[in-house]
Amino acid sequence: MEPALGASSLISVGASLFVILGGLAAFTLVVKRFRNGRFAMAPGKWRGAAPASPINIIATRHLGAQSSLLIVEAGGKRFLLATGRQGVTTIGALDGPGQ
């Protein structure tokens, strides 16, 4: 017959599990922030940086699981684009930076 687990061993296992799950949650948050660009630096702000891209995504609005609207600036003009399962569709050109 195996000995029963004591309260101290259950607390130890629970604390270990808590630390592991907390570490995974923290790692997930950090990865999400890096992917969203919150820690990204603007081009040209560090040594050896690549030149600024001629195409910039100004804003993104997610509409569902696989569709979103984007305001993209290219060649000094802004465009409204839609993305989805079918690909990317140009909805139209926007008049100015405030539009």
Could you tell me if 26 and 70 lie in one domain?
Answer: no
Per-residue pLDDT, 10: 85
Residues 6+ apart with CB under 8 A from 11: none
Could you tell me if 57 and 94 lie in one domain?
Answer: yes
Could you tell me if 35 and 6 lie in one domain?
Answer: yes
Could you tell me if 65 and 33 lie in one domain?
Answer: no
Interval 8-54: pLDDT, tens: 888 888 899 999 999 999 998 888 777 765 555 555 454 445 556 78
Task: State how many domains the chain has.
Answer: 2
List the domain range (segments joined by +) for residue 20.
Answer: 1-40
What predicted TM-score, i.e. pTM, was given to this entire model?
Answer: 0.45
Residues 6+ apart with CB under 8 A from 43: 49, 50, 51, 52, 53
Could you tell me if 30 and 69 lie in one domain?
Answer: no
| C-alpha–C-alpha distance, residues 78 and 57, integer Å | 9
Determine how many CB atoms are found less than 10 A away from the CB of residue 14.
10
Could you tell me if 36 and 56 lie in one domain?
Answer: no
